Structure 1
Amino acid sequence: MPAAPYEERQVTVNETTGAGAARHLAPPSQSSAPPDDLVTRLLCAACYLHDDIADSVEANLLTPSRRALSPNWQVDQVALGRHAARATGLRTARDRWLLTELWYLIGLGVLGLLLTFTGVLSLFQLVLAVLFLAFWAYVVAAGIVYHQMRAARRSAIDVALDPRADPPPRLRRASTEAALRDLNHCNAVLYRSDTAPFVGSGVKLDNWQITIDISRRTEPEFEPVTGAALQAALLELLPGKITPRPSGAHRLYVRGGAGSLGVDLYRFGPLEPGLDRDGELNYRRPVTVLSPLAFRPYFDRRDEIARTYTCFQQSAWGGQVVVTLFVRAWVANETLFIEGQVYALRPLHSELYEVSELETGTVAELQELGRLALIDAPALLMNAPSTMMKKVRAARLRAANADEADAEIAARRDVDFGAVKSVREQVTNYDLGDHFAAADEEVYYQAFVRRAMECIGLFLTSRGVETTEFSGQSAEIITRTNENARSIYGAATGG
């Protein structure tokens, strides 16, 4: 089933008001490929079945911070954020009910002691009353825990089967939801200065370099050769040569750290009206969508701070396998330099597929959840006060961190604002031996490299560049790609 339409019209953080709004920002592009449905549904379902995943989504996507948001390629960020918020909300409601029950239990216990001291109750009657209260406290606590488990289970099954069956409400903060909507169309990535730039793209499969002497031209009147022209030509030529057709776009990758503020990834001017403290921080954190005009300065130079790549992405099995080709080119001293890198996101951990095996119906729920509720209820009841206190302290800490982060974004240049590892990467199984789609990954990997070589050759010919040097290098790259593919996929694909 297709995913629920989470793209209702709403003003985004990029559609700022006021004369001082940053002019380089762009509204989300509607031409990019939509997120694949299966991985989105599985991740949303996992938020209900695995508390750590919901907490990770909340920390990475829903809690405002100074860091840039990490792209989760081929995942609907808005849907994931909404389901994670509802999953954590179910747990919070459970803990509040358990805390209320515990206070009633303590109050009745104190009342029983007072009645015993005043002679209304005997010691034997007090013991009986305590046992009676303990029994019913256990029953009620088990019921509260069971209710939360059942609600989470049903929500997980619903979103896995049909996201339209029980859609979650909008996020409480419109600014957070707008930031996630922008992230669905991300074309600017601010990465940590001590990590690889392609955050969110998985593991590196291959990389290659080409250097071509462009001083030898067959005809002098041909158009000049530039890196930007080559990357634009690849964006036009390559998708049509691969079936199914991959998506293609330019992306700006900006290194975090002291130089990150040198790139225009921040909004300027007045804040949107009516924003709370977290909304202000969402507004000020690094943006993820830029106008194509902002990419121009970073095409034809080897900049240490920001680089524009032409990215081609092929997705299969509902987003369980995502292969991305990154190409960058620049010209220096009559020499064309071309860099290519291939990354892959692989299927999710096997635990995340368990939702498809869950049975529906009251009997199945009682059998599977009843025992867990009876086991977990005493510990959850007794720990309810500390759990709620931790949440209160966490909320206060988030508020303090928001103030500090806002000050850092506004005034400091020695802070790394880069994005961290994405949620999609955190739940990926990188053991190729467990992957049913390894053959598909190999096909896309080799197709990207071969067709890229073909398109680069066509571009050089169209510009009158002698291609003998290129032909030798491209043949060597393809040979090395074949050898690399055999070493990566041989055991997994039976080769």
Structure 2
Amino acid sequence: MSQLATRRLPQLAQYRTDAVTRHLCAGAHLDEDFAREVDIELTGDRLNAIGLTLGIDLIALARHARAAVRRIDVRDRVLTWICAVCVWAAVPVLLYAAAAGPAGLGYAAGLAIVLGYGSAWWLVHRTESEARGAALAVEHGSDRAAGLAPPVEPEAERRLLEQKKANVVPYTASAERTNPFVGSGSKLKEMVWQPIDVSRPADDPAGGGKLAIKPFDAIDLHTFVAREMENIAGLKGLRARNRLYVIGNHVPYVTELLPDRLGMPRSQIPKQLVQAGLVQSGAGMRTYLSLERAGEGGRAIVSMHLRARLQHPSLTWEVSAYGIPPLQARFDRVNQLPVDGFERWWSLVSYATGATLSLLLGAPRRVSRRSSEQRRRARTLEKWRREIDKRHLLYDYGAADSIRERVSDWKQLGFSERTDSQDFLQRLQQGVLIATERFLKDHHVDTSSYDQAQQVINTHTYNFQGDIHGPGNYGQGGIINGPGAGPGGHPSGGGQGPSHP
């Protein structure tokens, strides 16, 4: 044993622990639509809760998305200015050409092309070069991803920091029927384990009768499992947290969760409220112990949501297993970019030459469209806030999904992620059983009923391929594409809420 403990082996290359965060930050610099979606969702004014996003540094992602959006906005504003200058300059140019004849017309046209198109080409080239440089820096750099981009608003960063340790998750009412664990990905299995009789005291090992059962409740059991699971299951880095899951249109019933009905819900509430959801569930409110484990580099994530149903004389475990596959293939673009030399120079020149004309001519329309969309979002929010304030509308504040879910793809699931994730889930199941047995023995409960239930529970297996029966899922052989529903809310009583409130 001592020889094994002192054995020296070479260190193999490892995935970076923040690989997914860096991939997404790099993707924000290379994908305008994704950058704008992230910027609006994480830092914009809204009513709906932000979906639980596992395995991602949201502050870093928000910073890089904002930097990418600002870079593109500056480019399009300057391109719009170039268009305007070209239009205003057209009148004197034409007058000069009319006076100078055909030769003057050719000279004037050439000058306009050189000045207008040349300026636009240089701007497009520089902007793309900066975007690629930022993407490569965050993907391959040694500094923390969050330190490679300027901060966003302090209030937004504070909110995102709280989101990292969220102990409450508001989810939209429509998800209650399909996927209440918003942010955990696709459902793999849901079940209620075999009941265990906890009313019979254990035999006194010293002889002479029975031991007195030590009183306990669901809070004690959840606390014990959360504390012991990492060591019992042998899963280093396991994250265990009790969370209160609340249906979106029931959020106003918890003042600490929604101190302002015209704002978005908080992501952290007093611990006592979370514990209260264990002892007795509220209206549309239940507390679960969420066990989350990320695979190598965070490429795939599994989670198991447990709820102890302790109703004398029996105990049952409600168990839901969920999984998130790796990122979509489009986020691998950063690893396909030429890094230096002639290839990088030629790639940028080719891009600028092919994209400049369309970007130049479309710049005024894009600037106008973004302004219109911003005003539309503001009007939509103002409308819902007026309805909530004046008509006391019961609004659905719940999240419909999360960024991590939307950018995942089951088609990218490899053999390693699949087998590792199945191992994690089996270890979690076995760990819960072992922890439950130890807890019952510590409280002097006869575990003979547990032994019988364990034989049934151990037959449950997990297939890390997603839920092929869920609405909107499609594919073959159990492989599905990740959920694609966008964020939004639905006020009770009909009508759809804003897309990004």
TM-score band by shorter chain is 0.7 to 0.9
Partner of 1:23: none
| Amino acid aligned to 2:52 | P
What's 2:77 paired with? 96
Q: Work out the CA distance in 2 between the residues paired with 1:410 and 1:43.
A: 38
Instruction: Select 2:30's aligned residue among 19, 34, 49.
Output: 49
Amino acid in structure 2 at the alignment position of 1:137: G
Amino acid at match of 2:86: L
Q: Which residue of 2 aligns with 1:39?
A: 20
Report the Cα offset of residue 406 of structure 1. Answer: 4.0
* Compared CA separation, residues 362 and 120, structure 1 to 2 (3 A): farther
Aligned: 1:254 with 2:246: yes
Q: Which amino acid aligns with 1:38?
A: A
The match for 1:216 is 200
Aligned counterpart, 1:381: 360
Give deviations 1:394-439, integer Å, cap 9, x for gaps.
Answer: 2222332343344456564522111121111111121365454211
Aligned match for 1:231, one of 212, 222, 244 = 222
SS at match of 2:318: strand
User: Which residue of the partner structure matches residue 461 of structure 2?
Assistant: 481
Q: Give the Cα separation in 1 of the matches to 2:451 and 2:281.
A: 24
- Bigger shift: 454-463 or 78-87? 454-463
Distance 1:366-1:54 versus aligned 2 partners, 3 A rule: same
Which one-letter code corresponds to 1:97 in the other structure? V
Match of 1:194 in 2: 174
The answer as to whether partners of 1:188 and 1:253 remain within 8 angstroms in 2 is yes
Aligned match for 1:176, one of 156, 167, 170: 156
User: Which TM-score applies when normalising by structure 1?
Assistant: 0.82
Q: 1:53 to 1:432 in 2, by over 3 A?
A: closer
SS in 2 for 1:387: helix
The C-alpha deviation readout for 1:440-470, integer Å capped at 9, x for no partner, is 1111011001111111122222233333332
Match of residue 125 from structure 2: 146
Please name the residue that 1:203 is paired with. 186
Pick from 62, 66, 72 the counterpart of residue 85 of structure 1.
66
Select 2:49's aligned residue among 50, 59, 68. Answer: 68
Structure 1 counterpart of 2:39, from 58, 66, 82: 58
Distance 1:36 1:397, change over 3 A: farther
Distance change (3 Å), C-alpha of 1:486 and 1:392 = closer
Relative to the length of structure 2, the TM-score reads 0.81
Query: In the alignment, which residue of structure 2 is the partner of 1:311?
Result: 290
Q: CA deviation at 1:146?
A: 1.2
SS in 2 for 1:107: helix
Q: Which amino acid aligns with 2:24?
A: L
Give CA deviations for 1:156-198 in whole Å, capped at 9, x if unaligned.
0000112638711111x22212211211222211111111221
| Counterpart check, 1:414 vs 2:397 | no
Is 2:350 the counterpart of 1:371?
Answer: yes
Amino acid at match of 2:160: L
Identical-residue share of aligned pairs (%)? 24
Match of 2:442 among 462, 466, 480: 462
1:192–1:417 contact (8 Å) kept in structure 2: yes
Within 1, Cα distance between the matches of 2:58 and 2:461? 34
CA contact (8 A) 2:244 2:288 kept: yes
Q: For residues 22-80 of structure 1, give each alpha carbon's deviation from its aligned partner in whole angstroms, at most 9, with x where no partner exists.
A: xxxxxxxxxxxxx9411111110010112222122123212221100112111100000
Do 2:235 and 2:424's aligned partners in 1 also have CA atoms closer than 8 Å? no
Q: Distance in 1 between matches of 2:89 and 2:96?
A: 10
Matches of 1:360 and 1:56, distance apart in 2? 27
Q: Describe the SS at the equivalent of 1:383.
A: helix
Q: Deviations over 1:193-221 (max 9, x none)?
A: 11122111112222331322333334573
Structure 2 CA distance for aligned equivalents of residues 384 and 424 of structure 1: 31
**Aligned residue in 2 for 1:398:** 377
- Partner SS state of residue 169, structure 1: coil
Aligned residues: 439
1:446 maps onto 2:426 in alignment: yes
Q: Where do residues 292-371 of structure 1 align in structure 2 (5 Å cutoff)?
A: 292-361=271-340, 363-371=342-350
Give secondary structure in 2 for the equivalent of 1:146: helix
* Cα distance between partner residues in 2 of 1:487 and 1:176: 33
Quote the Cα distance in structure 2 between the aligned partners of 1:487 and 1:87. 33
Q: Which amino acid aligns with 2:449?
A: E
- The CA deviation string for residues 294-326 of structure 1, in whole angstroms up to 9 with x for no partner, is 212211224341111111221221211222121
Amino acid across the alignment from 2:197: D
Residue identity opposite 1:466 in structure 2: D
Contact kept in structure 1, 2:299 and 2:325, CA below 8 Å = yes
For 2:366 and 2:149, the matched residues in 1 are separated by 25
Unaligned stretches of 5+ in structure 1? 1-34, 270-279
Q: Following TM superposition, by how much is the alpha carbon of 1:127 offset from its aligned partner in structure 2, in angstroms?
A: 4.2
1:156 maps to 2:140? no
Q: Unpaired segments of 5 or more residues in structure 2?
A: 1-15, 203-209, 468-476, 479-501
* Contact preservation (8 Å) 2:257, 2:268: no
CA contact (8 A) 2:324 2:408 kept: yes
CA distance in 2, matches of 1:349, 1:110: 50
In 2, the alpha carbon distance for the partners of 1:38 and 1:372 equals 27
CA deviations on 1:340-376 (whole Å, 9 max, x unpaired) are: 1121222112221232342322533322222121111
Partner Cα distance (1:361, 1:209) in 2: 57
CA contact (8 A) 1:56 1:423 kept: no
